[in-house]
Structure formats: structure tokens, C-alpha cells
Amino acid sequence: MKSKRSIRNQRATFAGGAFFMLCLLGVLAIGLAGAAQAASPTGGTATASALRPVFTVALPNQSGLEPYAMAYNTSNGYVYVTNNNTSDVSVINGSTVIARVAVGSGPRGIAYNAGNHLIYVANKVSDNVSVINGLTKVADIPVGNRPSNLTYNPKNNYIYVANTLSDTVSVIDALSVIATVPVGNHPSVLVTNDQPASPNFTYGDVYVTNLLGNSVTVIGGSNGTTVQTTIPAGTRPTDLTFNPHSGYVYVANTYSNTVTIITSGTRTVKRTLTVNTRPRAITSDRGNDNAYVLNTGGDSLNVLRRSGRALPQSYFKVGNYPRRVRVDAVTHRVYVANAYSDTVTVLDGNAPDSTKAVSVLGTVNVGDAPQAIQIDPTNHKVYVGNRGGNSISILQGTTNVATIPPQYYPGLPTINPATGYAYIPMRGGNVVRVYNGTTLVREVAVRHNPRHIAINPATGYAYVANLDSNSVSVLNSSYNQIARVSLNKNKGPIHIAIDSVNNLIYVANWYSDTVSVLNGTTLLANVAVGKNPRRIAIDPSSHYAYVANTYGNTISVLNGTTPVSTLAAGVEPRFVLYNPVNHDIYVSNKADGTVSVFNGLSKVGDVAVGTQPEYMAVDSTGKVYVANYGSDNVSIIDGTSVAVTVPVGNGPEGLTAGNGEVFVVNSLDNTMSVIRGTQVVATYNVGQTPRTVGYDPSSDTVYVSNYAGASVSVLGAAVSRGYSIFLPVILR
């Protein structure tokens, strides 16, 4: 567990230097309107009930960026929301965010342990599970590679964690891993047989979908850590659910358009049922025998009953691209989150008599791209996580009664060399903001989740990678969006690098394992690279593009649209940097604590640095600075060896070089360290969770993006090279 130090209040003192901070606070209220458009079952018509007026509550504490999953704590009545991009968990009491708890990197799945009342969070990037007690993180537990989802087993009070890339399940007892269980290929989703009433149900069995193995592994036995059997399923089993009434486990097989129904007592397949196109999510009504299957390809909902067959209506049309379905076991209402139509469809699942028809009650407008749902079983409020809008909608029945509005979360500042202006992607607001010091020059609407900006010095165009819309927005020098380039279903554009001489724009697509190559605003090709490309660097002498493939442990080298070579890197290469002095390429390998150095297509060597290195910067003399997040220091590499290691703050992430100094932001103690030579000469308090930093040499100004603080700290030059925070710009 990485301990968090106390926030330091050290101030730098220089002759004539000064330090002061001004804060501006604001609250953004967003209104949403309800709708009364009902979906209809095949062959029939459904009438929507009248929907009551909607009102919106403006809240001083906002929701986190990209809400992904939720859990309800029955002991305190709080709802916990994992914020995938800000690496924290929002805690909601009623309609108010009462805390933001920092966890590991890339939190996804979340589970509540009813035995010890702790919340467990799977962090897919940092490969650990964070544990929260109330409003406090109490532990980070190392698990396997890329943990994705969790389940709680009431029989033994264990938490089971699916480690997607290591093909294992970690079993946690309280704060310790007691077993690592090998399962099938790419374990993804888990569910527990939590019904002790009938001995035929094999109480305490844990079912795990193996996404690429087309199977389900059952873990159980007297110790709860033994594989009992592996059951064949359909193609790409994506989700599963357990129904305590029937004792069936239902498995949604996305690519074969089927549901596998498993009898839990015998751990065998009862039948395979054909459903609509692309079943991706499934859930059960714990108050009756119904199960509900969401089909993203057909925008529909199949209803299954105890016999394992469909109800007479066949299926219901719902909204566009339904992503999540949940059921209130007391009211039997079914809630479907429709990601592309920004709505929730509400159905009446009726009483425990499963022969009755299911009816549509209405459709409720919510935020942008709803993809997570959690039901408060006490007050029957429904919390909807709007991943694209970075907000939480709260429903009561068929009414949106409150919205916890979005907040702008700043990404990496990119400096336009022609103007000195800072371009900052606002990942919560789907906009780009352009700043001249503390003056907002322009706000430009782009697409969902802008992650990175690169500027072509030859044309003045700014290219914006929109992670969740699979596109690149192009802004001209007047800050107008002149084009939006579709990447032809290549998913997850996360980083952009530009060869300005040839007017080639390289875009790393995280989810598709490709690089899109553009000429100006024209897509030339999508080139296959290694697994999960994250960063790109251009060698201006050879015009090669070097692509760091994070989970492929390789570097792909491209020349335009032509693959040139694949180079072996270390474990989990995260950042790639071109050194203009010696013309070498430096690659930080986060998992093994090394930096690989390449010259052209040859590896020069691997340099051991600190723990969890990622961000790097190079100064005018060719020295490379490496921020070691796990060991709280910066390694300074001269050529192929570490010249010195400089202690900095807690959790160093982004860094940049300028005017003889290197600026390092420390995300866990909310400070920025200034390195001159081989020592820290100043440390400043900035906003909450600073992660990236940019430097404008023309005005001698530093911009710090504070993710959890939703602010940008702007530091201007003072006398004797001292820096003074003259205004933290608080973003709405």
C-alpha cells in the first residue's frame, strides 16, 4: 500500500519572490427535461404512464469524471461511484456528493462486503484493489494483471476479483489475498450463488465468464478457492446473472446471440436460448423468476422466465445502444440505460407470477451516455451514471428527481508555439479551452471525452483525440472546429503525434490496437500495431513514428502508413520520448521500473530507474527526467545511465522542462516541485490531484491541470526565477 504523506506547506523564498493564491469557486447547474416516449414490444403497443415534472438540484460537490460502476452500502446508505478517469470514488448521500476518495489508477468494478461493511474497488491500470471504510481508503491490495470486476460471497465473506490479462481470480479475505485461482482465457465478469435456502443450489459457488475462452469457470468447494468445473458457453460470454428463485445462472453470449442457462445445483447447461442481436448485459429479478437480456445490436430487451424460455412478447424495443439493466426486487421495475439516446427505459416486471405480461412504463431523459445503474433498495431511488456527461441522474420511479451535474476535468496542457496559448482538453465538459495566462480566450465544443491535443506548427491546426467518440476534432488557428475526422470504428483515440514536415498526424487508438494516420483532415489508413497503444513520438530526422504498446510490451515503428519494425520494450511501456540532442528514443516501462533506449531500430540498452516510471521530459542539454510514481522521485538519465535520483513529492506524475528548470507535479500531495540542476529548489501547493503540466517559454508561464480539483493552477515568472501562483483558475 502506497502511504500518503501529509500535504506540505513549504514555500519557496527567493530575493524579490512572492507567493499567494486566490480561489474562485463556482457551481454549474444543469437542467434536464423528462420525456414520455414509451417503447413497444414486438407485435404490440405500450402506453406510457404520465411522467411528473422534473427538477434539478445544483450541488456544491460534483460527480467524478467518467462514472463507470456503482455499489450501495447498506450499513450507511451511501452510493459509491468509480470514476474511471480521475482514479477516485465519489460517495453520494441522497443527492449530495459528500466525499471523493482517491483509489488506484483506472478504477472499474466495485463491490460491497456485507460481512465487514467495506467497499472494494478493482483498479485496472494499477493492478490492485482499493478498500474503502466509510469515507477513507484503508488499503491497496495487489492482485493480478488488469483486474476488471468483483463479486462478494456471503458464504465466506470473500471478495473474488477477475484478473483479465493474467487469466486468474484473486480471492480476498478482508485485506489479504488468500488464493489466486487459475481460470479460463480472459476472465471478465463474476457472480455468486448467494442463496443458502436450497441445498440444490450449491450455495457459495462463484461463476466466472472467460470472455475469450467461451466458457464459465465455477469456483467453490469447502475452502471457496477450488475450481469445481468449467462449463462451455457461447461465443464471447460477456455478462451473467444468478436468479435465487430458479437457481439458474444466465450467461449472455454476445457474438453467438444466445443465452446459456446453467442449473446451479448440477453445474450443467440446461439449455441454450437464441435471443436478439448482440446480447451484452443481463440481470435477474430477485423478487420473482424473470431474467432480462439487453441486446445492444438490436436495441431490445428479451424477457426470460423460470422455464428458461421467453415470455410471449418475444422482446421489447428500448433506446439506442442499451448498456446496462437493473431490477428493483421490491417494486419489480426494470431500468435500462440507453447510452446513445441518453435515456432510461422503465418497465414494470409485475408481481412474482411470471406468466403475466411485462409492460413499458415510460422513458426518462438523463445525462450523456448513461452506462451504470445502482438501485437504493431502501428508498428505491435509482442512480444512473452518465459516462459521457460525467454526471449522476437520480430517478424515483419514472421521474428524474435530481442530477448531480458534470464538472470540467482538465487534461494535459498543450502549448501553441506560435501564440504561447495553452490548449486544455476538458474531459468532463467535452470542450477544449484555450488560455492566455489566466484569460480564457475561447471554449470550443468537441466530442466525447477529449483526451489529448497536438498542434501542427506548420499549419497552426490543433488536433483533439476524442476517446469515447472514436474521432479527431480539428481546430484552425482561429479556434474554430473545421473538421471532425471519423476513425472508421477504430476505438479509443488517446494520443496524437504530428510529423509537421510531411503533414502526417498519427493517432493511437487504445481499444483497437491501431494507429490512424491522417494527412491534414483526411484519414489515410488505420495501421495495426501492438496491444493497447498509448503514446507516440516522432523522430524528425528519419520521420519514423514510435508507438508504445502498453500491454504488448513492444514498440511499433511506422513510416507513414507503412509498418517498419516491432521492437521489444520492457514490461508495460507507457511513455515514449524523442531526445533532440542525441536523437535517441526513450521508453518508460512502468511495471518493471526501467527505461528502454533505442537508436533508430536498435536497442541501446535498458536503464533501471525508480518504481512505476511513466512521464518523461528532456531538457536543452539532452538529459532525460523520469517521474517515478511509486518511489516518489525523479531519475535524471544522461545518455544510458542514471546520473542522479532526486526526491520530490508524493506520487509524481506529469513533468516538463523549461528555462533551465524541470517542473514536476505530485498527484498525491497536491504540490509541484521545481528541479534546478540536481536538486529541488522550490515546492508549491497547487490544486487537488495535479497530474499534468505544461510550460510556455514565451511568457515563462506554467500551467498545472488539477484533475480532482477541476482547476488549473497558473504560475507566472517572478523575480530571480522564483515562481508565484497568482491565480488557480477554477473551471465550471
Question: Quick check: 554 pLDDT over 60?
Answer: yes
* For residues 673-693, average pLDDT: 91
Return the ∠ at Cα 492 (arms to 585 and 370), rounded to 5°. Answer: 150
Q: What percent of the chain has pLDDT over 70?
A: 84
pLDDT of residue 68: 82
pLDDT of residue 611: 95
* For residues 10-26, average pLDDT: 29
pLDDT of residue 405: 62
Question: Quick check: 712 pLDDT over 80?
Answer: yes
* For residues 637-641, average pLDDT: 97
Question: Quick check: 3 pLDDT over 70?
Answer: no
Question: Quick check: 262 pLDDT over 80?
Answer: yes
Supply the DSSP symbol for 684.
E
316 closest CA partner among 46, 34, 36? 46
CA–CA separation, 485 vs 440, rounded Å? 26
pLDDT of residue 36: 27
Please tell me which residue, 680 or 377, carries the higher pLDDT value: 680
Segment of 293-302, 596-605, 723-732 carrying the highest mean pLDDT: 596-605
Q: How confident is the model at residue 290 (pLDDT cuts 50, 70, 90)?
A: confident
pLDDT of residue 407: 58
pTM tops 0.85: no
pLDDT of residue 392: 86
Query: How many residues comprise the chain?
Result: 732
Q: What is the pLDDT of residues 471-521, one digit of tens each?
A: 999 999 999 999 999 998 788 899 999 999 999 999 999 988 999 999 999
CA–CA separation, 71 vs 377, rounded Å? 11
Question: Quick check: 40 pLDDT over 60?
Answer: no
pLDDT of residue 721: 52
Which of these ranges, 133-137, 218-222, 322-326, 717-721, has the smallest mean pLDDT? 717-721
CA–CA separation, 161 vs 176, rounded Å? 12
pLDDT of residue 316: 83
265-272's contacts with Cβ under 8 Å and 24+ in sequence apart are: 265/198, 265/200, 265/201, 265/202, 267/202, 267/205, 267/218, 267/228, 267/229, 267/231, 268/231, 269/231, 269/232, 270/308, 271/308, 272/234
Burial of 439 by CB count in 10 Å (0-12 exposed, 13-18 middle, 19+ buried)?
exposed
Q: What is the pLDDT of residues 434-455, one digit of tens each?
A: 988 888 899 999 988 899 999 9
197-201's contacts with Cβ under 8 Å and 24+ in sequence apart are: 197/244, 198/247, 198/265, 200/247, 200/264, 200/265, 201/244, 201/247, 201/264, 201/265
* For residues 532-553, average pLDDT: 96
Return the ∠ at Cα 100 (arms to 97 and 102), rounded to 5°. Answer: 165
Question: Quick check: 56 pLDDT over 50?
Answer: no
* For residues 537-554, average pLDDT: 96
Burial 442-477, CB ≥16 within 10 A → b, else e: bebebbbbbbbbbbbeeeebbbbbbbbbbbbbbbee
CA–CA separation, 447 vs 413, rounded Å? 18
